[in-house]
């Protein structure tokens, strides 16, 4: 039971900071927050993603490129230009690292106002940090695993962020339904997104990329957006009015 609780906790907390902080803030800036809150989000992203930590800068820039070049040869991740999901994710990893380490030139429009905390990113992305988190997960399994099959969840803990990426960047460009006609293969993977906290409404998002709420139809509940509304009411963040509705 404890193993399942850990995996579910890591799944949804890591996913929340990926979609709330890295995606809707770093990449699309659908809301604003104070410098202190921004730093807190950096730290909480590291705590919840652990060995899978993604930099707000690397993610934000790469995701903007994905929207600009969706399903073209310049797209950092597209099923149209990779034979397998593994080759796509390997290419994504390499592009992410090149961007994050500033090994390639990137147009200003992709980097403008993307948050970066270089010192913290260097630590959180280091092999020491990733291996330390992997050790923590392993010790937890040693203490709490009660059956052999529970150890099958350990690789998921190690690679949860890439798994989240595969679900959207691969499967949500192949399977699902569309609400809007777009010039790419983005689809809404789930009609009720209990799994990805709004991220699976990918066709909606590609149509209205600056919108904070990824849901459009009555059944498309975006749980991340609902949390954002609460945080806005608490004045921890400030939603931009222009991102609240479909335009």
Tell me what the mean pLDDT of segment 4-23 comes to.
98
Tell me what the mean pLDDT of segment 120-137 comes to.
98
Express the helix, strand and coil content of the chain in percent, nearest 5 each.
60, 5, 35
Residue 247 confidence (pLDDT): 42
244, pLDDT greater than 90: no
**25-47 pLDDT, tens per residue?**
999 999 999 999 999 999 999 99
242, pLDDT greater than 50: yes
What is d(CA 34, CA 5) in angstroms, rounded to the nearest whole number? 32
Tell me what the mean pLDDT of segment 49-73 comes to.
96
Domain residues of the chain, as ranges?
Answer: 2-187
Tell me what the mean pLDDT of segment 146-166 comes to.
96
pLDDT band with cut points at 50, 70 and 90 for residue 245: low
**169-196 pLDDT, tens per residue?**
999 999 999 999 999 999 999 999 999 9
pLDDT band with cut points at 50, 70 and 90 for residue 82: confident
What is d(CA 189, CA 199) in angstroms, rounded to the nearest whole number? 9
The alpha carbon torsion through 192, 68, 55, 212 (nearest 10 deg) reads -40
Would the pTM count as exceeding 0.75?
Answer: yes
CA 94, 97, 103: angle at the middle one, nearest 5?
105
């Amino acid at each position: 039971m404890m193993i399942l609780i850990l995996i579910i906790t890591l799944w949804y907390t890591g996913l929340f900071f990926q979609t709330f902080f890295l995606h809707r803030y770093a990449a699309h800036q659908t809301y604003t927050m104070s410098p202190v809150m921004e730093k807190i989000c950096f730290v909480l992203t590291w705590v919840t993603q652990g060995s899978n930590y993604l930099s707000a800068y690397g993610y934000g820039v790469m995701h903007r490129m994905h929207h600009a070049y969706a399903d073209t040869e310049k797209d950092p991740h597209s099923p149209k230009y990779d034979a397998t999901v593994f080759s796509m994710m390997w290419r994504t990893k390499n592009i992410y690292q090149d961007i994050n380490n500033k090994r390639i030139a990137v147009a200003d429009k992709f980097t403008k106002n993307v948050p970066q905390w270089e010192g913290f990113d260097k630590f959180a992305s280091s092999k020491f940090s990733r291996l330390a988190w992997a050790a923590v997960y392993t010790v937890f399994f040693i203490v709490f695993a009660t059956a052999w099959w529970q150890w099958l969840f350990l690789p998921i803990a190690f690679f949860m962020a890439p798994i989240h990426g595969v679900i959207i960047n691969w499967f949500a460009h192949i399977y699902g339904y569309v609400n809007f006609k777009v010039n790419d293969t983005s689809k809404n993977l789930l009609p009720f997104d209990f799994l990805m906290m709004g991220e699976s409404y990918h066709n909606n998002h590609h149509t209205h990329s600056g919108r904070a709420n990824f849901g459009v139809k009555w059944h498309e509940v975006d749980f991340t957006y609902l949390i954002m509304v609460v945080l806005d009411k608490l004045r921890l963040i400030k939603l931009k009015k222009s991102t609240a509705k479909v335009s």
